[in-house]
Amino acid sequence: MTTIGNRESKKLGIGYGELFGACVVLISAGLMFWRNTDVRLTALELRMDRTEKAHEEVIYKLDKVQESINKVHLQLKDKQDRKD
Protein backbone atom coordinates (compact mmCIF):
# COMPACT_ATOMS: atom_id res chain seq x y z
CA MET A 1 0.00 0.00 0.00
CA THR A 2 1.18 3.48 -0.72
CA THR A 3 0.14 6.60 0.96
CA ILE A 4 -0.87 9.60 -1.10
CA GLY A 5 -1.60 12.46 1.18
CA ASN A 6 -4.19 11.29 3.67
CA ARG A 7 -5.53 8.62 1.33
CA GLU A 8 -4.32 5.05 1.09
CA SER A 9 -4.48 3.27 -2.25
CA LYS A 10 -4.72 -0.50 -2.33
CA LYS A 11 -2.90 -2.66 -4.83
CA LEU A 12 -5.33 -4.39 -7.16
CA GLY A 13 -4.72 -7.82 -8.69
CA ILE A 14 -2.29 -10.51 -7.76
CA GLY A 15 1.46 -10.71 -7.88
CA TYR A 16 3.63 -12.96 -10.00
CA GLY A 17 4.44 -15.17 -7.04
CA GLU A 18 0.77 -15.71 -6.27
CA LEU A 19 0.02 -16.41 -9.93
CA PHE A 20 2.90 -18.90 -10.14
CA GLY A 21 1.75 -20.59 -6.91
CA ALA A 22 -1.83 -20.87 -8.19
CA CYS A 23 -0.59 -22.36 -11.50
CA VAL A 24 1.56 -24.90 -9.65
CA VAL A 25 -1.41 -25.89 -7.48
CA LEU A 26 -3.72 -26.27 -10.50
CA ILE A 27 -1.19 -28.26 -12.52
CA SER A 28 -0.43 -30.48 -9.52
CA ALA A 29 -4.13 -31.11 -8.92
CA GLY A 30 -4.62 -31.98 -12.59
CA LEU A 31 -1.66 -34.37 -12.60
CA MET A 32 -2.83 -36.02 -9.39
CA PHE A 33 -6.33 -36.46 -10.82
CA TRP A 34 -4.93 -37.90 -14.06
CA ARG A 35 -2.59 -40.30 -12.24
CA ASN A 36 -5.31 -41.46 -9.83
CA THR A 37 -7.70 -42.04 -12.73
CA ASP A 38 -5.01 -43.89 -14.70
CA VAL A 39 -4.24 -46.19 -11.77
CA ARG A 40 -7.93 -46.93 -11.19
CA LEU A 41 -8.56 -47.65 -14.88
CA THR A 42 -5.57 -49.99 -15.00
CA ALA A 43 -6.86 -51.84 -11.93
CA LEU A 44 -10.31 -52.04 -13.50
CA GLU A 45 -8.88 -53.45 -16.73
CA LEU A 46 -7.00 -56.12 -14.77
CA ARG A 47 -10.14 -57.07 -12.86
CA MET A 48 -12.17 -57.21 -16.08
CA ASP A 49 -9.55 -59.47 -17.69
CA ARG A 50 -9.68 -61.84 -14.71
CA THR A 51 -13.48 -61.80 -14.77
CA GLU A 52 -13.57 -62.53 -18.50
CA LYS A 53 -11.15 -65.43 -18.05
CA ALA A 54 -13.28 -66.81 -15.23
CA HIS A 55 -16.39 -66.53 -17.41
CA GLU A 56 -14.63 -68.29 -20.27
CA GLU A 57 -13.61 -71.11 -17.93
CA VAL A 58 -17.18 -71.47 -16.66
CA ILE A 59 -18.54 -71.52 -20.22
CA TYR A 60 -15.94 -74.13 -21.22
CA LYS A 61 -16.90 -76.32 -18.25
CA LEU A 62 -20.60 -75.92 -19.03
CA ASP A 63 -19.94 -76.97 -22.61
CA LYS A 64 -18.14 -80.08 -21.38
CA VAL A 65 -21.04 -80.90 -19.06
CA GLN A 66 -23.50 -80.41 -21.92
CA GLU A 67 -21.44 -82.74 -24.12
CA SER A 68 -21.42 -85.38 -21.37
CA ILE A 69 -25.17 -85.07 -20.92
CA ASN A 70 -25.67 -85.46 -24.67
CA LYS A 71 -23.48 -88.59 -24.70
CA VAL A 72 -25.40 -90.12 -21.81
CA HIS A 73 -28.67 -89.25 -23.50
CA LEU A 74 -27.55 -90.92 -26.73
CA GLN A 75 -26.37 -94.01 -24.85
CA LEU A 76 -29.70 -94.30 -23.07
CA LYS A 77 -31.54 -93.84 -26.35
CA ASP A 78 -29.43 -96.58 -27.97
CA LYS A 79 -30.21 -98.93 -25.09
CA GLN A 80 -33.91 -98.24 -25.36
CA ASP A 81 -33.76 -98.85 -29.12
CA ARG A 82 -32.06 -102.21 -28.51
CA LYS A 83 -34.72 -103.27 -26.01
CA ASP A 84 -37.52 -102.53 -28.45
Q: Cβ neighbours of residue 11 under 8 Å, at least 6 residues apart?
A: 1
Q: Which residues of 14-40 are buried (b: 16+ CB within 10 A; e: fewer)?
A: eeeeeeeeeeeeeeeeeeeeeeeeeee
Q: Cβ neighbours of residue 84 under 8 Å, at least 6 residues apart?
A: none
Q: Cβ neighbours of residue 10 under 8 Å, at least 6 residues apart?
A: 1
The pLDDT of residue 84 is above 80: no
pLDDT the model gives residue 13: 85
pLDDT the model gives residue 7: 60
**What pLDDT digit, counting tens, does each position of 4-58 carry?**
555 666 667 889 999 999 999 999 999 999 999 999 999 999 999 999 999 999 9
pLDDT the model gives residue 3: 55
pLDDT the model gives residue 5: 54
